[in-house]
């Protein structure tokens, strides 16, 4: 019983450490990407600025494209070639790499989020 608890505690600690190396923008992009992959933006609805309407059809299209890329492996913010006011990310999936861009309002809410395959 003690050994099982120790293994669970080590697993939780490892999970927390894996996420701790992401900055807040990387965590937000990661959450948006996972939500889009799962065809459900409700986990990030509070992170999206009021008045931004995203149709269910658009979310389904995102889910089809992103979930086909396999497991999401990493989201890393980059500043090179990133326009002022945007946060840009290299996103690695099991099958392909993507580039994401995210823009926030003055309250830190997402007002725009875009992605495309790297190299396009």
Query: What architecture is the 23-117 domain classified under in CATH?
Result: Roll (3.10)
Residue 29 pLDDT: 98
Strand ranges, E, within the chain: 72-78, 86-93, 97-104, 110-117
Dihedrals phi, psi of 44, to nearest 5 degrees: -115, 10
pLDDT for residue 6 is more than 90: no
> What's the rounded Cα separation, in Å, for the pair 76 and 99?
10
Residue 119 pLDDT: 85
> What's the rounded Cα separation, in Å, for the pair 24 and 107?
14
pLDDT for residue 4 is more than 60: no
Average pLDDT score over residue span 56-69: 98
46-51: Cβ within 8 A, 24+ apart:
47/109, 47/110, 48/109, 48/110, 49/105, 49/107, 49/109, 49/110, 49/111, 50/109
pLDDT for residue 117 is more than 70: yes
Query: Would you list the domain boundaries of the chain?
Result: 23-117
- Residue 100 CB partners (closer than 8 Å, separation 6+): 29, 32, 33, 75, 88, 89, 91, 113, 114, 115
Residue 54 pLDDT: 95
- Which percentage of the chain shows pLDDT scores above 70? 82
| Single pTM value for the model | 0.81
> What's the rounded Cα separation, in Å, for the pair 111 and 104?
5
pLDDT tens per residue, range 9-62: 545 444 444 456 899 999 999 999 999 999 999 999 999 999 999 999 999 999
């Amino acid at each position: 019983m003690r050994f099982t608890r120790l293994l669970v505690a080590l697993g939780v600690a490892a999970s927390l450490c894996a996420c701790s190396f992401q900055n807040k923008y990387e965590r937000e992009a990661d959450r948006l990407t996972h939500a889009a992959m799962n065809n459900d933006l409700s986990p990030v609805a509070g992170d999206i600025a009021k008045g931004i309407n995203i149709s269910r059809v658009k979310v389904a299209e995102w889910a089809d494209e992103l979930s086909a890329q396999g497991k999401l492996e990493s989201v890393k913010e980059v500043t090179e070639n990133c326009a002022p006011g945007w946060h840009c990310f290299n996103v690695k999936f099991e099958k392909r790499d993507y580039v994401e861009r995210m823009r926030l309002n003055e309250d830190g809410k997402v007002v725009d989020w875009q992605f495309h395959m790297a190299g396009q």
